[in-house]
Amino acid sequence: MSSNKLQIEEVIDCALAEDLGKGDVTTEALIPGDRQGTGFIVAKKEGILAGIKVAKQVFHRVGPELKVEILLEDGARVKPGSKVAKVSGSIASILKAERVALNFLQHLSGIASETNRYVERVEGLPVRIMDTRKTTPGLRSLEKYAVKAGGGENHRMNLGDGILIKDNHLAALRSQGLNIKEIVAKARQNAPLSLRATPTLSLRGAKRRSNLQARQTQVEVEVGTVSEALEAVEAGADIVMLDNMNLEDMRKAVKSIHGRALIEASGGITLDNVRAVAETGVDFISIGALTHSVRALDISLELEAQ
């Protein structure tokens, strides 16, 4: 997992403190500490697995002596009855870790599964499904990891990852008399040295981008109309984000831009319309729903006492 190890440990510790801060009075009242058993983590629905190593870490944080055997790796497709991991050792420790481990696993697998549904809908088209910053506070790195497990890709991890000039940036600066060309130039001129490198967004093998030269600092501009899209390209934007634009206008924007910039579609994207959006010729489709309103994948732990 590419996510920062220390950050993940902090998230796990926070979740355990939330659930175990006052102990597990039920387990402590009923289950002797030396009672041994084995539990299997089992999928109840079809989907894509994500977060199994996080779940393993949860069990080890509660009971370092527990043996956790991963049976399926992240990215695997599961179906009802699929055993994804085996946990052996103290039943008390297994029960104390169960809910937090499953919370992470269900949530992350839900994100991976939803992402994969979008990826499958656009199969065969030269477009990439991407996430946004619409994530659960404190869980961004894990949620974006789950998107990748489902076959998607990550947009900016945080506000320091790239320049994206949004509508409110434009509104604030236009009120001072700046036009979009001046705004793009200002952003590129004042960008930190850490961003003056190879662009973070590209489309491997994209014919439309083959004749474009990578600038020192990549600048993306959000637009809402075809005329704004053309204005952004003429201002030197590397990426144009078509925000909440209808299909007809998307097609017009793609045709008008004609390979002078990469194009991202965002806003109002659903499973029902994502393929139609991809067929307009955009390079990226970013979808906040991958993380902000996803349904957890049903996964449970089945205990076998000894």
Question: Residue 158 pLDDT > 90, yes or no?
Answer: yes
86 has catalytic annotation: no
DSSP conformational letter for 156: -
137 or 205, higher pLDDT? 137
Distance CA 117, CA 101 (A): 24
Question: Residue 201 pLDDT > 80, yes or no?
Answer: no
Distances (CA, A) of 151 to 74, 139, 279: 11, 19, 19
Per-residue pLDDT tens digits for 232-255: 999 999 999 999 999 999 999 999
Fold of 123-292: TIM Barrel (3.20.20)
pLDDT at 206: 45
Of the residues 131, 220, 243, 283, which is catalytic? 243
134 has catalytic annotation: yes
- State mean pLDDT over 31-36: 93
Question: Residue 208 pLDDT > 50, yes or no?
Answer: no
243 has catalytic annotation: yes
pLDDT at 209: 45
- State mean pLDDT over 281-305: 95
Distance CA 253, CA 245 (A): 10
Strand 47-48 to 77-78 pairing: antiparallel
157 or 2, higher pLDDT? 157
What residue segments make up the domains of the chain, in order of their start? 5-119+294-305, 123-292
Fold of 5-119+294-305: Aldehyde Oxidoreductase; domain 3 (3.90.1170)
pLDDT at 207: 43
Question: Residue 12 pLDDT > 60, yes or no?
Answer: yes
- State mean pLDDT over 41-62: 98
B/e letters for 117-146, b = 16+ CB within 10 Å, e = fewer, are bbbebbeeeebbbbbbbebeeebbbbbbbb
181 has catalytic annotation: no
222 has catalytic annotation: yes
CA end-to-end span of the chain = 34
Fold match between domain 5-119+294-305 and domain 123-292: no
pLDDT at 193: 81
pLDDT at 7: 87
- State mean pLDDT over 108-115: 98
pLDDT at 234: 96
Question: Residue 50 pLDDT > 90, yes or no?
Answer: yes
Question: Residue 142 pLDDT > 90, yes or no?
Answer: yes
Distance CA 241, CA 285 (A): 9
Of the residues 86, 99, 186, 275, which is catalytic? 99
pLDDT at 200: 52
pLDDT at 1: 53
Longest dimension (CA), the chain: 75
Instruction: Write down the mean pLDDT value for the chain.
Output: 92
Of the residues 114, 131, 222, 231, which is catalytic? 222
pLDDT at 212: 43
Distance CA 221, CA 241 (A): 6
Question: Residue 84 pLDDT > 50, yes or no?
Answer: yes
Instruction: Dig out the tokens for 153 from the structure.
Output: 């890709």
Of the residues 77, 133, 134, 275, which is catalytic? 134
- State mean pLDDT over 268-297: 97
